[in-house]
């Protein structure tokens, strides 16, 4: 018989003696209960509940069931260390357990329960006749039925447990060592001899215990071995990664949080050396609201130094799609929560599971006092392995921050993927060192361990493993069980002391995987963009209204921001959750927009006299444009034109000129209808033309020419067609909603079945053609418009999409010589090659944008603007926007139904300032505000700049209640100077992103001149 097989068999026998069944079961009754009954059920009379028997069938998707009853200790178990063991049909699907439990013992929350945590402690010394009252809430997620449910008394043999792990952990090391490794032979000999000392014969407990003591003494020789090699050390911290939503709703996550934290606290009661870290403020906030008794116990362990609070963000958001200001708020809200609730100042950005990382993060971290960025996700690249795990990451503006990639994987695995929720067996510890590519640079690594997503976090088995590897086992790196922060403090200190020793990565951390997350569930991305812009406007209005004596609505704006931040979680915003998550999100956004509309009306009312109207420019540059009128306004100074939208709607618009940035002008209402000016536009079913552009369309409704009359230059490649829709078969290998694989173009179909083309507007302010196409079971309608004197053509789009696993793109083959695209990201833009010379470039066949993407050569360029899209590709001089994905997993109905979105094609002279301003105006259209004030207020812009190179991203009241915060940034990627002028003199100071003052620019001034580095962010506080 092979030696290892023998040892495994004997250890399996010993494992069975750790928790010994007693055949004594609690007498249970149960009832299903709605989520809202959770506060009532623990206190109610159970006499009406249904008795549980072996034939009980229960469980349904998103269901909750309560099992309650009592168990009495028989005489035979007196003096024993007793646990309860849950008997249920636990299933494990994609890393989570079902059902998941919260166990109350004699009215107190004892711990969570799941397939990894089936036993819960009752007593160290049972008394005959002792009665335990057990109440268990079981949540079921999957669409499968459970048969039966029970709680059995089991006797815990602590000595058997100790000896088991004393021998099992070294055996797991030995099996991974090479056959000719002398350490392997010595380990196997020690384990074999120790196991031979155990007397497994039944019937004599004292004899068994004595043999265990002998085996334990023999096992000590293992840990006395001096390892011939100098082994590295790995710091280990307990953790559980909990997705705020994914294959379950947020309301279920709140229960997962309670169960997982109850597990952590229960283990701390038994293991004095246990250290556990948690990061997401939003789930700690939910725990405080839902389970205050658990939160109080957790807070006590924080004070005791055993439960670690780290990670600066409110939750783990998507950081590619969310706006720059949203990322600021995630940092500020998360950090403030941890400081206010626990007295902890976070120093770490912990984002293990997010799908790529914006190059804006290093600057945001530096301006927030954050020391290091940690992830593991870049190991999921499908093409290239990242060259380093410990390095400096350089962002858009040149800021460099220490960065750490977790390297944990199984030792036997030869791929590059790593994990952030291992079960901490020796294979994971040895694999952590094996996977580390910089072994000559650093010999202390870090890992977290514990089951995630409802798996309940670390187990007692993991903690036993930790203790053995802390003692040291030949051939295995030694573990030090401690909190996360001290490890990274040491690492950061070394990196700052020896910066030349560590490599540097410049630019975005592009994940070569999950490219479909830029597009899946388009409605959620549209809600996100619209909500972000709405908050920008509301905060500006709040400051303008504050100048008129209205209280700034801090609390209301905080509530609105909480909706947006929650829905930016990295499985909600990317479109990778189940349908019910988006039902919840839709309701939350509907409430958001209703509340925002009411707040806007109230704030705007203070800015104009009752019966009067103002036109607000929420962008920071001066501009002119069309503004929509409400139906009840007649006789404005400028005559109105009716415009048509792709979804069939109509509106009247008038032109407004020279509206100051962050300011407003009065819309004069005379009550007398004015005549329309002479038309300066040409339009037919195949032509749109103004003084600047001439656009021609073919018989399929495609754009075959876009001629720049100002420069005598054609933008569309000869013989090609732009605004050409293509449907691609989109059946990725692995994850449907997440992925677009590189073969998506193998099966593609032109969407060119044009069923109608008609002129719907002739001017004088705008001309437009309505096109309609049919594709399979879907319909696409566009109103393509051109405003008088505009340098861009706009595509208002309505789609009734009924396809599955079909990716819809729209392409523009441009007559531009370039090998680089430039795309907006948070607080800047990125340049990316449009060729595929290397594997790194080939892997970037789908990339991210925010409001614009551009192809330019010297003196000429074309930019695509959008109001809610985030994915694009650029090959050579062909630019394509990704519009709809329609995956079938995890939500079979994703993206089916109605879509409304806009994009535009801007022709320019190569100046990206034009692009930035146009994209800002496209996303922040001029707004008409109705007044309600008794007198006409004296309204002036909050601030003005003498250059458009610098943008004011945010205007808000300071969190302290004193002063106004202006967040500015350089938009062109070049150094610049700007003079900021204020409506009145005041104290001007610079602050970090937490609004903590860093310097005073002037004690009393109405203007200040500012220097900016490329893409630099500066936050000012005006008192």
Residues 771 and 791 grouped into a single domain? yes
Residues 73 and 200 grouped into a single domain? no
Residues 693 and 827 grouped into a single domain? yes
Provide the strand spans (E) within 858-975: 860-866, 871-875, 878-884, 897-908, 927-930, 944-945, 950-957, 964-970
The yes-or-no verdict on residue 673 having pLDDT over 70 is no
Amino acid 249: pLDDT = 96
**Does residue 289 have a cis bond before it (omega within 30 degrees)?**
no
Amino acid 795: pLDDT = 99
Amino acid 924: pLDDT = 98
Taking alpha carbons only, the member of 547, 572, 569, 545 closest to residue 556 is: 545
Taking alpha carbons only, the member of 232, 270, 301 closest to residue 458 is: 270
The yes-or-no verdict on residue 674 having pLDDT over 60 is no
Look at the chain and report how many structural domains it folds into. 5
Position 229 confidence tier, pLDDT thresholds 50, 70, 90: low
Position 638 confidence tier, pLDDT thresholds 50, 70, 90: confident
In degrees and rounded to multiples of 5, residue 518 shows phi and psi of -75, -10
Dist. CA 973–CA 982, nearest whole Å? 25
The yes-or-no verdict on residue 787 having pLDDT over 50 is yes
Mean pLDDT of 689-705: 98
**Residue 84 sits in a domain of what CATH number?**
2.60.120.260
Position 297 confidence tier, pLDDT thresholds 50, 70, 90: very high
Mean pLDDT of 816-833: 98
Dist. CA 65–CA 98, nearest whole Å? 13
pLDDT 10s digits, 155-186? 999 999 999 999 999 999 999 999 999 999 99
Q: Which two tokens stand for residue 880?
A: 């394509």
Using left for φ > 0, alpha for ψ between -120 and 50, and beta otherwise, residue 902 falls in: beta
Dist. CA 608–CA 353, nearest whole Å? 48
Is residue 120 in a domain? Answer: yes
**Residue 1001 sits in a domain of what CATH number?**
2.60.40.2220
Amino acid 535: pLDDT = 98
Is residue 728 in a domain? Answer: yes
**Residue 458 sits in a domain of what CATH number?**
3.20.110.10
Decide: 320 and 510 in contact? Cβ < 8 Å.
no
The yes-or-no verdict on residue 895 having pLDDT over 70 is yes
pLDDT 10s digits, 573-601? 999 999 999 999 999 999 999 999 999 99
Residues 959 and 822 grouped into a single domain? no
Query: Which residues have CB under 8 Å from 974's CB, separation 6+?
Result: 949, 1014
Dist. CA 758–CA 716, nearest whole Å? 23
Decide: 74 and 128 in contact? Cβ < 8 Å.
yes
Is residue 658 in a domain? Answer: no
Determine the structural domain holding residue 977 and report its residue range: 943-1023
**Does residue 68 have a cis bond before it (omega within 30 degrees)?**
no
**Residue 879 sits in a domain of what CATH number?**
2.70.98.30
Distances (CA, A) of 300 to 206, 219, 296, 297, 306: 40, 37, 6, 5, 9
Taking alpha carbons only, the member of 180, 117, 226, 171 closest to residue 426 is: 171
Percent of the chain with pLDDT over 70: 98
Tell how far CA 786 is from the center of its chain: 37
Is residue 822 in a domain? Answer: yes
Position 950 confidence tier, pLDDT thresholds 50, 70, 90: very high
Is residue 902 in a domain? Answer: yes
Mean pLDDT of 949-968: 96
pLDDT 10s digits, 747-759? 999 999 999 999 9
Using left for φ > 0, alpha for ψ between -120 and 50, and beta otherwise, residue 194 falls in: alpha
**Does residue 524 have a cis bond before it (omega within 30 degrees)?**
no
Amino acid 304: pLDDT = 97
Using H for helix, E for strand and C for coil, what is the string for 654-716? EEEEEECCCEEEECCECCCCCCCCCCCCEEECCEEECCCEEEEECCCCCEEEEEECCCCEECE
Taking alpha carbons only, the member of 282, 277, 267, 189 closest to residue 237 is: 277
Decide: 111 and 53 in contact? Cβ < 8 Å.
no
Residues 261 and 355 grouped into a single domain? yes
Is residue 607 in a domain? Answer: no
pLDDT 10s digits, 336-382? 999 999 999 999 999 999 999 999 999 999 999 999 999 999 999 99
What torsion, rounded to 10 degrees, do the Cα atoms 243, 244, 248, 253 define?
110
3-class secondary-structure state, position 527? helix
Dist. CA 638–CA 647, nearest whole Å? 27
Pairing of strands 372-375, 400-405: parallel
3-class secondary-structure state, position 187? helix
Residue 41 neighbours by CB distance under 10 Å: 17
Residues 472 and 376 grouped into a single domain? yes
Amino acid 670: pLDDT = 58
Residues 149 and 166 grouped into a single domain? no
Taking alpha carbons only, the member of 298, 305, 366, 309 closest to residue 334 is: 309
Dist. CA 34–CA 336, nearest whole Å? 34
Query: Which residues have CB under 8 Å from 938's CB, separation 6+?
Result: none
Is residue 772 in a domain? Answer: yes
pLDDT 10s digits, 795-808? 999 999 999 999 99
Residues 828 and 857 grouped into a single domain? yes
Using left for φ > 0, alpha for ψ between -120 and 50, and beta otherwise, residue 876 falls in: left
Is residue 994 in a domain? Answer: yes
Residues 89 and 106 grouped into a single domain? yes
Residues 371 and 462 grouped into a single domain? yes
Decide: 589 and 531 in contact? Cβ < 8 Å.
yes
Mean pLDDT of 6-13: 97
Amino acid 255: pLDDT = 97
Percent of the chain with pLDDT over 90: 93
Residues 109 and 177 grouped into a single domain? no
Q: What is the b/e burial string over 760-792, where b = at least 16 CB atoms within 10 angstroms of the residue's CB? A: bbebbbbbbbbbbbebeebbbbbbbbbbbebbb
Residues 349 and 238 grouped into a single domain? yes
Residue ending a domain, choose from 864, 894, 923:
923
Pairing of strands 860-866, 828-833: unpaired
Q: Give the containing element (helix H, strand E) for 577.
A: none
pLDDT 10s digits, 1013-1023? 999 999 999 99
């Amino acid at each position: 018989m092979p030696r290892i097989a023998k040892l495994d068999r004997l250890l399996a026998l010993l494992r069975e003696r750790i928790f010994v069944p007693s055949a004594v079961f609690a007498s249970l009754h149960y009832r299903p209960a709605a989520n809202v009954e959770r506060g009532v059920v623990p206190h109610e009379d159970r006499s009406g509940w249904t008795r549980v028997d072996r034939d009980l069938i229960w469980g349904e998707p998103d269901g909750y069931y309560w099992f309650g009853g009592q168990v009495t200790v028989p005489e035979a178990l007196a003096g024993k260390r007793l646990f309860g063991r849950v008997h249920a049909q636990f299933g494990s699907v994609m890393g989570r357990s079902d059902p998941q439990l919260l166990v109350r013992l004699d009215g107190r929350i004892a711990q969570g329960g799941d397939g990894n945590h089936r036993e819960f402690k009752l007593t160290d010394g049972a008394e005959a006749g002792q009665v335990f009252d057990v109440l268990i809430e079981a949540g079921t997620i999957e669409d499968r039925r459970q048969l039966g449910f029970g709680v059995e008394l089991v006797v815990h043999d602590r000595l058997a447990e100790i000896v088991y792990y004393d021998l099992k952990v070294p055996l797991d090391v030995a099996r991974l060592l090479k056959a000719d490794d002398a350490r392997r032979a010595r380990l196997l000999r020690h384990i074999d001899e120790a196991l031979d000392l155990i007397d497994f014969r039944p019937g004599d407990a004292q004899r068994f215990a004595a043999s265990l003591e002998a085996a334990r003494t023999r096992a000590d020789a293992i840990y006395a071995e001096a390892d011939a090699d100098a082994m590295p050390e790995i710091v280990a911290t307990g953790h559980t990664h909990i997705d705020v939503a994914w294959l379950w709703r947020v309301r279920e996550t709140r229960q997962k949080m309670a169960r997982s934290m109850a597990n952590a606290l229960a283990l701390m009661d038994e293991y004095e050396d246990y250290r556990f870290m948690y990061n997401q403020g939003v789930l700690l906030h939910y725990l405080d609201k839902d389970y205050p008794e658990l939160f109080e116990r957790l807070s006590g362990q924080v004070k005791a130094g055993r439960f670690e609070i780290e990670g600066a963000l409110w939750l783990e958001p998507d950081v590619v799609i969310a706006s720059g200001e949203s990322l600021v708020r995630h940092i500020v809200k998360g950090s403030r929560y941890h400081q206010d609730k626990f007295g902890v100042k976070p120093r770490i950005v912990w984002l293990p599971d997010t799908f790529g990382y914006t190059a804006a993060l290093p600057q945001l971290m530096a301006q927030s006092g954050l020391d290091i960025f940690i992830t593991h996700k870049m190991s999921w690249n499908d093409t290239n392995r990242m060259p380093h795990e410990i390095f400096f990451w350089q962002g858009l503006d040149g800021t460099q921050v220490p960065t750490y990639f977790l390297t944990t994987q199984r030792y036997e695995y030869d791929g590059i993927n790593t994990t952030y929720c291992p079960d901490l067996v020796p294979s994971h510890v040895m694999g952590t060192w094996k996977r580390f590519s910089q072994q000559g640079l650093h010999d202390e690594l870090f890992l977290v361990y514990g089951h995630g997503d409802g798996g309940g976090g670390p187990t007692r088995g993991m903690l036993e493993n930790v203790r053995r590897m802390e003692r040291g086992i030949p051939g295995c790196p030694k573990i030090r069980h401690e909190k996360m922060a001290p490890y990274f403090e040491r690492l950061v200190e070394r990196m700052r002391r020896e910066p030349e020793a560590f490599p540097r990565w410049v630019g975005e951390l592009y994940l070569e995987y999950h490219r479909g997350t830029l597009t899946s569930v388009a409605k959620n991305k549209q809600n996100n963009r619209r909500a972000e812009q709405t908050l920008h406007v509301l905060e500006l209005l709040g400051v303008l209204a504050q100048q008129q004596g209205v209280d700034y609505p801090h609390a209301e704006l905080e509530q609105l921001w909480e909706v947006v931040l929650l829905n930016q979680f990295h499985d909600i915003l990317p479109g990778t959750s189940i349908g019910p998550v988006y039902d919840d999100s839709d309701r939350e956004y509907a409430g958001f927009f209703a509340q925002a509309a009411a707040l806007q009306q109230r704030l705007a009312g203070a800015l104009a006299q009752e019966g009067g109207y103002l036109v607000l420019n929420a962008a920071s540059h001066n501009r002119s444009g069309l503004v929509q009128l409400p139906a009840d306004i007649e006789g404005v100074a400028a005559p109105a034109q009716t415009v048509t939208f792709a979804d069939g709607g109509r509106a009247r618009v008038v032109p407004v000129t020279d509206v100051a940035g962050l300011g407003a002008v009065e819309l004069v209402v005379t009550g007398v209808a004015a005549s329309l000016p002479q038309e300066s536009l040409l339009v037919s079913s195949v032509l749109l033309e103004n003084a600047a552009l001439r656009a021609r369309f073919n018989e399929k409704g495609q754009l075959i020419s876009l001629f720049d009359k100002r420069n005598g230059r054609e933008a569309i490649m000869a013989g090609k067609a732009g605004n050409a829709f293509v449907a691609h078969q989109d059946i990725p290998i692995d994850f449907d909603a997440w992925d677009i694989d590189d073969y998506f173009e193998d099966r593609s179909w032109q969407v060119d079945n044009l069923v109608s083309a008609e002129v719907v507007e002739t001017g004088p302010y705008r001309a437009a053609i309505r096109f309609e196409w049919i594709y399979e079971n879907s319909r696409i309608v566009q109103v393509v418009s051109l405003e008088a004197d505009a340098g861009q053509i706009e595509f208002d789009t309505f789609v009734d999409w009924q396809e599955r696993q079909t990716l819809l793109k729209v392409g523009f083959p441009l007559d531009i010589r370039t090998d680089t695209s430039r795309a907006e990201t948070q607080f800047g833009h990125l340049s990316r090659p449009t060729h595929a010379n290397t594997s790194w470039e080939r892997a970037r066949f789908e990339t991210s944008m925010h409001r614009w993407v551009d192809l330019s050569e010297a003196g000429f360029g074309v930019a695509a603007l959008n109001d809610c899209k985030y994915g694009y590709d650029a090959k050579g001089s062909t630019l394509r926007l990704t519009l709809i994905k329609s995956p079938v997993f995890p939500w079979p109905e994703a993206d089916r139904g109605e879509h409304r979105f806009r994009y535009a094609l801007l022709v320019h002279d190569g100046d990206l300032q034009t692009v930035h301003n146009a994209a800002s105006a496209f996303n922040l259209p001029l707004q008409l505000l109705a007044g309600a004030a008794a007198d006409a207020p004296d309204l002036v812009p909050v601030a003005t700049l003498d250059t458009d190179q610098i943008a004011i991203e945010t205007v808000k009241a300071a969190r302290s209640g004193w002063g106004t915060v202006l967040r500015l940034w350089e938009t062109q990627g070049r150094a610049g100077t700007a003079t900021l002028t204020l409506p009145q003199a005041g104290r001007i100071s610079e602050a970090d992103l937490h609004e903590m003052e860093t310097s005073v620019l002037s004690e009393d001034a109405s203007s200040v001149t500012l220097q900016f580095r490329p893409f630099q962010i500066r936050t000012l506080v005006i008192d």
